[in-house]
Amino acid sequence: MFKIPIKVSLNYSPNFSTYRRKSKYIKYLIYHYTGMSSESKAIKRLTDESSNVSSHYFIKKNGSIILMVPEPYEAWHAGKSHWKKEKFLNKKSIGIEIANKGHQFGYENFSNLQIKSLIKLSKYLIKKYKIKKSNVLGHSDIAFKRKKDPGEKFPWEYLSKKNISIWHKINEKKLRKLRKKKISNFEKAQFFKFLYKIGYSPKIKGKLEKSKLIKSFQRRFRQKLINTLIDQECLLIAKTLSKIN
Ligand SMILES: [Zn+2]
């Protein structure tokens, strides 16, 4: 019935929950970068029993795909996470790890071959489980206090053009005029309300967590400037996205 449209090699991970999920419970697609100094180290870790982490799929730099945990089983990729009313998204998601050194070891562009494979794999999974575009997320969206992946080099806008994830349709010229423009305290409060409406967790304590949330939003939706400052551009983007379901 649903046959995967690309070649996939197998390298099973022992790290998964052994109960079988019904396909109707799979509602989210979560993207990660591996954030390790080498691709082979990342593969080793995700398949090593003592690491307690895994992912359903792994996309190598050359675009080839490894299946590590079969879809009916819960892989351990997201950890403590929160989106809308959902907590611990591992239960209801498919995790895809994309090889990239990440912010810690030298964040690099994702390769064209990786993105090509990612699009094919995502389209297949979205169709198979009827995943909503607004439920295709990055690790940093659902765990912004701890995570930065897949980061600001991840091509979210391009994926939205392929009908995979959400994006806004505000033109760049308009956005550029609003960039770095100050906002009032009232608008600041509005900005956070829009974020919670989009799905980000409202459970934030103190300044540091607040700035992590702002950065996470920027890495996802305002990739041209990651600076923890809320400006008119951020406000308009958040407002526009808050209306998308
Ligand atoms: Zn991750």
Q: How many Å lie between the centroid of ligand 1 and the Cα of residue 98?
A: 9
User: How confident is the model at residue 6, as a pLDDT?
Assistant: 85
Q: How many Å lie between the centroid of ligand 1 and the Cα of residue 215?
A: 16
Residue with the two structure tokens 């459970």:
203
- Whether 28 and 85 have beta carbons less than 8 Å apart is answered as no
Q: What is the pLDDT of residues 8-45, one digit of tens each?
A: 999 999 999 999 999 999 999 999 999 999 999 999 99
Q: How many Å lie between the centroid of ligand 1 and the Cα of residue 182?
A: 32
Q: How many Å lie between the centroid of ligand 1 and the Cα of residue 151?
A: 10
How much of the chain exceeds pLDDT 90, in percent? Answer: 96
Catalytic (active site) residue 97: yes
Q: How many Å lie between the centroid of ligand 1 and the Cα of residue 34?
A: 7
Residue with the two structure tokens 């974020």:
195
Helical segments of the chain, H only:
39-46, 102-105, 112-129, 139-142, 156-161, 172-178, 185-198, 206-221, 232-242
For the residues 151-173, what does the mean pLDDT come to?
97
Q: What is the pLDDT of residues 167-204, one digit of tens each?
A: 999 999 999 999 999 999 999 999 999 999 999 999 99
Q: Which of 74, 97, 152, 233 is catalytic?
A: 97
Cα–Cα nearest to 133, from 144, 142, 143, 123: 123
pLDDT band at 5, cuts 50/70/90?
confident
Tell me: pLDDT of 245 over 80.
Answer: no
Q: How many Å lie between the centroid of ligand 1 and the Cα of residue 245?
A: 24
- Whether 179 and 227 have beta carbons less than 8 Å apart is answered as no
Which residues are CB-neighbours of 133 under 8 A, at least 6 positions away?
126, 160, 163, 164, 165, 166
Q: How many Å lie between the centroid of ligand 1 and the Cα of residue 161?
A: 23
